[in-house]
Amino acid sequence: MTMHGLASRLLQAYATVTPTGRGAYRLLRAARRLYPREARKGRFALPRGARMELDLDAYPDCTMAFGLYEVETARAVRALLRPGDVFVDAGANVGYFSLLAAQCVGDRGRVHAFEPFPPNRERLRGNVEANGYGRIVHIHGQALSDAGGEIELHQYTAGAANHGQVTAFPQPGQGAKSVRVETTALDSALPGLLPRVVKLDVEGSEMLALRGMAETIRRSACAVIVEMNPDTFRSAGTSAMEIADFLRGLVPGYECQALRWPVRRMQPTAAALAALGEVNLLFALPQPPRGATT
């Protein structure tokens, strides 16, 4: 076995047992040196069986390739979804969570993947097709917002930027290339939808997207995972506290968990949220014990 083949097996085994992705990027950068250039780009088999076209020299691809991308969030998605469920992936990027959800919900379930940025959407489509998930994962080219229309998306062009950094609210002084895309509100795009989980990672547009799916959330009382990024929120003129208040107003009884090891329930106050920095938060009703009937 080659050195990089051994490294791949060890990293994937580590991904199935580690409680956190913290420190994974440093570990992967060290392991990447074992890979010859020609082995760093192509189709990778992830620890749980999905296959993705990825580039080990790029972030977050290198963490996705070995199942070390947002480990705590991935674990929450697997815990929440059951066969036949519906998952909404807003800001699906190249499909990491859409593929994970497709594995969880199976042929009777559905995944609605919203990815407005054309290069990412084409990679998403290729990854969905490579796994034979075309009947489960429905790809939507609009950006989720509070209404139908158009917006301009900006992708940062600095060397440290990655393909997930596409935003309607660019930070001042950042070089970026732009594209106009259509927007839609989830409530009107998929009326009557009853998702089990909604994941939002839309680089500052979270509050707009939530307003456009308020009826869906209220009706389904689904779990909602929201990326909280203080920098993009400042550019967008919103805050983690505004989002927490909005969601808990829609569904009384929502509990909040910070998806960072150790995962814990928290009372979302302005001070507590500010102390967390960038993190994914899970808002969900309390779950009955496994095996309990309702």
Per-residue pLDDT of 174-217, as tens digits, reads 888 899 999 999 999 999 999 999 999 999 999 999 999 999 99
At residue 288 the predicted structure's pLDDT band, cuts being 50, 70 and 90, is low
At residue 292 the predicted structure's pLDDT band, cuts being 50, 70 and 90, is very low
Entry pTM: 0.94
Per-residue pLDDT of 24-59, as tens digits, reads 888 898 889 999 999 999 999 998 889 999 999 999
Tokens 């440093």 sit on residue? 26
| The token pair that represents 177 in the structure block | 């290339």
The whole-number pLDDT of residue 202 equals 97
Those residues whose C-beta lies under 8 Å from the C-beta of residue 28, and which sit 6 or more positions away, are: 11, 56, 62, 63, 66, 68
Across the chain, what does the average pLDDT equal? 93
| The token pair that represents 82 in the structure block | 């059951």
Express as a percent the part of the chain with pLDDT over 90: 80
Describe the strand order of the beta sheet including 197-200 as a list of residue ranges: 137-140, 110-114, 86-90, 197-200, 223-228, 279-284, 255-258, 264-266
The mean pLDDT of 249-274, rounded to a whole number, is 95
At residue 3 the predicted structure's pLDDT band, cuts being 50, 70 and 90, is confident
DSSP secondary structure string for all residues of the chain = --HHHHHHHHHHHHHHH-S--TTHHHHHHHHHTTS-GGGSEEEEE-TTS-EEEEETTSTTHHHHTTT-SSHHHHHHHHHH--TT-EEEEET-TTSHHHHHHHHHH-TTSEEEEE--SHHHHHHHHHHHHHTT-TTTEEEE-SEE-SSSEEEEEEEE-STT--TT-EESSPPTT--EEEEEEEEE-HHHHSTT---SEEEE--TT-HHHHHHTTHHHHHHH--EEEEEE-HHHHHHHT--HHHHHHHHHHHSTT-EEEE-SSSPEEE---HHHHHHH-SEEEEEEPPPPPTT---
Ordered domains of the chain (ranges, CATH) = 3-64 (no CATH), 71-141+187-284 (3.40.50.150)
The answer on pLDDT for 234 being more than 70 is yes
Per-residue pLDDT of 90-147, as tens digits, reads 999 999 999 999 999 999 999 999 999 999 999 999 999 999 999 999 999 999 999 9
Give the least confident one: 157-161, 234-238, 268-272. 157-161
The whole-number pLDDT of residue 293 equals 41
